Amino acid sequence: MPRFVLIKALNRALLGRFVLCGVVLVSLLEILALMEKTTPILNRHLGIRGILTFAFLHLPALSIDILPLAFMVGALFLLTQMTLSSEISALRAAGLSTPALYRLLLPAVLVVGLCGTCAQYWLVPACENALTTWWNRTDPLAGQDGQPEDDILWFRAGPTLVRIGQIAQGGYFLRDVTIYHRDATGLLTGTEHTNTLTYTQGRWHPDGAQDLSLSEDKSFVNVTRGDSTFIIPATPSTIMTLSQNGAFVTPGQISAILHRGAPASLPRATYRMALFGGMILPLEIAVMLLLTLPVIYIPPRAGLRNPLPVYVLGAGMGFVILQGMISALGNAGTLPAPLAVSVGPLLGALLGLTWILRMEER
């Protein structure tokens, strides 16, 4: 029973400080995001409600981004406070070793890590899709004839390529749409083009469709007037997901893209990184906790004059930067996704273990 009480007390204190640090970091990032978006929101006459809608829908993605760092800062506050108040010394006198202390804090790591993984896989894609759809619906100039095509969307679905010039009404209205049909070798066999495309009653309805087909010897082109059948392999919701800059998709969508030729606008390596990145999140948080443990070796009489907390925070920031650099290599396809997501935590764990062993030798 005393051990259970100790586990409960330590993890509750750690989770409390993690939540506090997370709220502070997310608030700072939200303020920075709103500094960029507040003027466009007010120009669209969306008012305070629009600002709150943007902040609420953007919150899950920001929370996942700062999750490992917020956990480390929370653990740093807790362990530093316990060390300076001689609580760590009392636990050591009772026979608690550093590995045992780490194991006692693992429940908090698992809770935060698994919740973060679930949020990254299912909550963030839904919120980002809703945010993109809302932002597109509230654009008064989206889809108007004569507007410059600033954000042209290209995506593939199997051998088929699709180009969309403009997106409006949350993906239900498209302008300047072209479908490129290719054979098994990747050579172009024909195209379909329409000036506008509207999604109603579960179907796409074109206006001003034209078909272009190549002869068998590819020597001439035949242009004909298109009919009312214009099928693009995507729904309005899928189009809004494809128009996002990042891979905010669920594991089911990633599986469909990688193995069943579902529509995709990003390299396949990016989707693999999105899949493995969620799996590795609990390990990243565990490494952050490991990098924080050296602060328990601060002599209580030294107080905050000891620079060790600063070194620990610097190590955590370095780990975040290193992980970001390696992830960029994975997104580019330079490194396989499993290797790209695991190299950073592995190096961080080796650094943390080496650091703790050196502190134990003193």
**pLDDT tens digits for the chain (362 residues)?**
467 888 899 999 999 999 999 999 999 999 999 999 999 999 999 999 999 999 999 999 999 999 999 999 999 999 999 998 888 888 888 888 889 999 999 999 999 999 999 999 999 999 999 999 999 999 887 767 666 667 789 999 888 899 999 999 999 999 989 999 888 888 888 888 888 899 988 888 888 788 877 766 666 566 667 667 778 888 999 999 999 988 899 999 999 999 988 999 999 999 999 999 999 999 999 999 999 999 998 887 776 778 889 999 999 999 999 999 999 999 999 999 999 999 999 999 999 999 999 988 76
Do 18 and 132 sit in the same domain of this protein? Answer: yes
Number of neighbours of residue 346 by Cβ within 10 angstroms: 12
Q: What angle do CA 272, 276, 278 make, to 5 degrees?
A: 125
Does residue 186 lie within any of the structural domains? yes
Q: Are residues 11 and 120 in the same domain?
A: yes
pLDDT tens digits along 181-232: 888 888 888 888 888 899 988 888 888 788 877 766 666 566 667 667 778 8
Residue at 144 is within a domain: no
28 & 116 share domain? yes
Do 8 and 124 share a domain, yes or no?
yes
Residues 12 and 117 in one domain: yes
**Among 110, 20, 14, 72, residue whose Cα is nearest residue 292:** 72
Claim to verify: residue 36 and residue 177 sit in the same structural domain: no
Q: Report pTM.
A: 0.89
Which domain covers residue 188, as residue numbers? Answer: 153-242
- Tens of pLDDT, residues 293-320: 999 988 877 767 788 899 999 999 999 9
The answer to whether residues 90 and 16 belong to one domain is yes
What residues pair up with 203 in beta bridges, in sequence order?
A: 200
Alpha carbon distance 353, 362 (integer Å) = 15
**Contact (Cβ atoms closer than 8 angstroms) between residue 360 and residue 98:** yes
Tell whether 236 and 274 lie within a shared domain.
no
Whether 215 and 222 have beta carbons less than 8 Å apart is answered as yes
For helices 2-43 and 106-118, the axis angle rounded to 10 degrees is 30
**Chosen domain end from 242, 260, 293:** 242
- Tell me how far apart the alpha carbons of residues 248 and 159 are, in angstroms, rounded to a whole number: 23
In this structure, are residues 327 and 265 in contact, taking their beta carbons and an 8 Å threshold?
A: no
Kindly state whether residues 103 and 194 are assigned to the same domain. no
Length of the chain: 362
Domain co-membership, 276 together with 340: yes
- Clarify whether residues 104 and 176 are in a common domain: no
Distance (Å, whole) CA 177 – CA 196: 7
List of residues 6+ apart from 142 with CB closer than 8 A:
136, 166, 167, 168, 169
- On whether residue 285 sits in a domain, the answer given is yes
In contact, 98 and 356? CB cutoff 8 Å:
yes
Residue 143, in any domain of the structure = no
Residue 345 in any domain: the answer is yes
Which of 242, 261, 284 terminates a domain? The answer is 242
Count of domains for the chain: 2
* Domain's final residue, options 198, 223, 242: 242
Same domain? 86 vs 128: yes
Residue 36 lies in a domain: yes
Q: Is residue 260 part of a domain?
A: no
Is 264 within the bounds of a domain?
A: no
Report d(CA 263, CA 271) in Å as an integer: 12
Q: Is residue 203 classed as helix, strand or coil in its secondary structure?
A: strand
Other Cβ atoms less than 10 A from the Cβ of 215: the count is 9
